[in-house]
């Protein structure tokens, strides 16, 4: 390993959990390289990765509410991570109590959640990832939002500004209906056009980066005959040209949509309604793809996310592989392992019920932990 590689290594040194899922109390010191976590169904493998992901993203990859994360019968949870990057070490902590979430960086409470500098970056590979392909458009928008939020504070801010304006316009539409004054609507429409057009540009630029990465990952797993393509479909109309132009097109579309929106009681166009199209050889994978193609496409998206974050931040995100190795057939698993090995200078967490099925992982370099109903034991 070269010096420069080591200098930008991101590593979770310690994870502390209190009342998180089936972990009432845990202090875990992972290894720098590959961490293998094995245990029976329901022992707490996914929950552990979920906690690490929570530190990076501030929400669960399962998409549930915070109250679901609190150990049954308890009334708060706490997740803390000690993260090292180069010679620096930072602490990030989330606390949830009585419906309120707090984030502390190095012991200091952050006034606005979104302002916290991301200390940890992470990508979660889950057997549930098929939802990226087969699920509702919201799943794919969330994929883009999370990737972008991990690299850009500006994106996080735009996203919250956009949602605030959206809520205001929707309230007017819903509660005032046809009585909603045009001038009042326009105030929020101008804001939606300003923030929304910037969000769209961010997403489209990210997609330019993600496209070749996803296509390459897919080719490596499926062979050269399949061409994976990603397309952004903006609901506000044709997106091209300068930001000012885009803002104008956006605003006009909103005004045109007023009567429909009043009827429906909400805003029907904007980045909250856009779609990320995923195609193989020109056909929507969601509709036409075989099971295997859909799985491979989902995996390709995640791999693309990993390399995108790496390129944007100059360090490898912490890789979370939940039960995915046992799900794939031989050829694909090997390809994934090759990728994993290539990224071995980053920190990785791999779970599975059977350590034998995780063969192929160079165990000599890995730390092995056994998970038993909310506790961890190091085995090797």
- Chain positions contacting ligand ATP, by CB under 6 A: 21-22, 39, 41-47, 68, 70-72, 323, 353
Residue 353's binding partner out of Mg ion, ligand ATP, none, with CB under 5 to 8 Å set by partner kind: ligand ATP
Which ranges constitute the DSSP H helices of 230-290? 243-256, 258-264, 285-288
Tell me if 325 sits within 8 A of 336, measured CB to CB.
yes
Residue 43 binds to Mg ion (criterion: CB under 5 A): no
Minimum CB distance to ligand ATP, residue 357 (Å): 12
Closest to ligand ATP by CB, 47 vs 267, is 47
Minimum CB distance to ligand ATP, residue 366 (Å): 18
Tokens of 194: 């300003």
Residue 46 binds to Mg ion (criterion: CB under 5 A): yes
Please, is 148 exposed, middle or buried when counting C-beta atoms within 10 Å of its C-beta (0-12, 13-18, 19+)?
Answer: buried
Closest to ligand ATP by CB, 21 vs 203, is 21
Which span (15-23, 37-45, 325-333, 335-343) binds Mg ion, by CB under 5 A? 37-45
C-alpha closest to that of 47 among 378, 379, 373, 269: 373
Give Cα separations from 195 to 150, 154, 159, 200, 203 (angstroms).
Answer: 18, 11, 8, 9, 12
Residue 42's binding partner out of ligand ATP, Mg ion, none, with CB under 5 to 8 Å set by partner kind: ligand ATP
List, in order, residues 6 or more apart from 54 with CB less than 8 Å away. 60, 69, 79, 94
What is the Cα–Cα distance from 161 to 332, expressed in whole angstroms?
41
Minimum CB distance to ligand ATP, residue 15 (Å): 14
Which contiguous run of DSSP H or E holds residue 34?
Answer: strand 34-38
Residues in contact with Mg ion, counted by CB under 5 A, come to a total of 2
Which span (45-53, 81-89, 213-221, 363-371) binds Mg ion, by CB under 5 A? 45-53
Minimum CB distance to Mg ion, residue 323 (Å): 5
Closest to Mg ion by CB, 45 vs 203, is 45
Closest to ligand ATP by CB, 12 vs 51, is 51
Closest to Mg ion by CB, 119 vs 123, is 123
Minimum CB distance to ligand ATP, residue 74 (Å): 8
Q: Alpha carbon 66 to chain centroid distance?
A: 16
Could you write out the DSSP letters of every residue in 106-129?
A: TTEE-SSGGGSPP---EEEE-GGG
Closest to Mg ion by CB, 45 vs 258, is 45
Minimum CB distance to ligand ATP, residue 44 (Å): 4
Closest to Mg ion by CB, 61 vs 347, is 61
Minimum CB distance to ligand ATP, residue 21 (Å): 4
- Name 279's bridge partners: 229, 284
Strand order in the sheet with 76-85: 23-28, 10-20, 76-85, 88-97, 100-105, 108-109
Tokens of 231: 């397309």
What are the residues binding Mg ion (CB under 5 A)? 45-46
């Amino acid at each position: 390993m070269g010096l420069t590689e080591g200098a930008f290594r991101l590593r979770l040194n310690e994870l502390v959990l209190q009342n998180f899922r089936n972990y009432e109390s845990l202090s875990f010191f992972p290894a720098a390289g590959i961490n293998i976590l094995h245990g029976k169904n329901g022992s707490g493998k996914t929950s552990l990765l979920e906690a690490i992901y929570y530190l990076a993203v501030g929400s669960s990859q399962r998409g549930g509410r915070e109250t679901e994360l609190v150990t049954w019968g308890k009334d708060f949870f706490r997740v803390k991570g000690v993260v090292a990057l180069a010679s620096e070490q930072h602490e990030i902590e989330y606390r949830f109590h009585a419906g309120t979430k707090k984030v502390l960086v190095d012991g200091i409470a952050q006034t606005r959640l979104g302002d916290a500098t991301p200390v940890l970056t992470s990508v979660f590979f889950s057997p549930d990832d098929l939802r990226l392909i087969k699920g509702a458009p919201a799943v794919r928008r969330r994929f883009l939002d999370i990737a972008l939020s991990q690299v850009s504070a500006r994106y996080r801010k735009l996203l919250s500004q956009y949602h605030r304006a959206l809520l205001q316009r929707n309230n007017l539409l819903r509660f005032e209906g046809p009585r909603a004054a045009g001038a009042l609507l326009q105030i929020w429409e101008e804001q939606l056009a300003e923030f929304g057009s910037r969000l769209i540009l961010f997403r489209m630029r990210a997609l330019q980066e993600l496209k070749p990465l996803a296509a390459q990952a897919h080719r490596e797993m499926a062979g050269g005959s399949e061409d994976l393509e990603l397309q952004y479909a903006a609901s506000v109309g044709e997106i091209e040209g300068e930001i000012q132009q885009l803002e104008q097109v956006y605003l006009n579309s909103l005004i045109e949509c007023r009567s429909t929106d009043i009827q429906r009681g909400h805003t029907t166009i904007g980045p909250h309604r856009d779609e990320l199209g995923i195609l193989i050889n020109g056909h929507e994978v969601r509709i036409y793809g075989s099971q295997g193609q859909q799985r491979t496409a989902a995996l390709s998206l995640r791999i693309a996310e990993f390399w995108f974050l790496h390129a944007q931040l100059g360090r490898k995100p912490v890789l979370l592989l939940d039960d995915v190795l046992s799900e794939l057939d031989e050829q694909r698993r090997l390809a994934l392992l090759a990728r994993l090995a290539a990224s071995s200078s980053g920190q990785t967490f791999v779970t599975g019920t059977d350590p034998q099925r995780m063969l192929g992982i160079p165990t000599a370099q890995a730390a092995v932990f056994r998970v038993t109903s909310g506790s961890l034991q190091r085995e090797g």
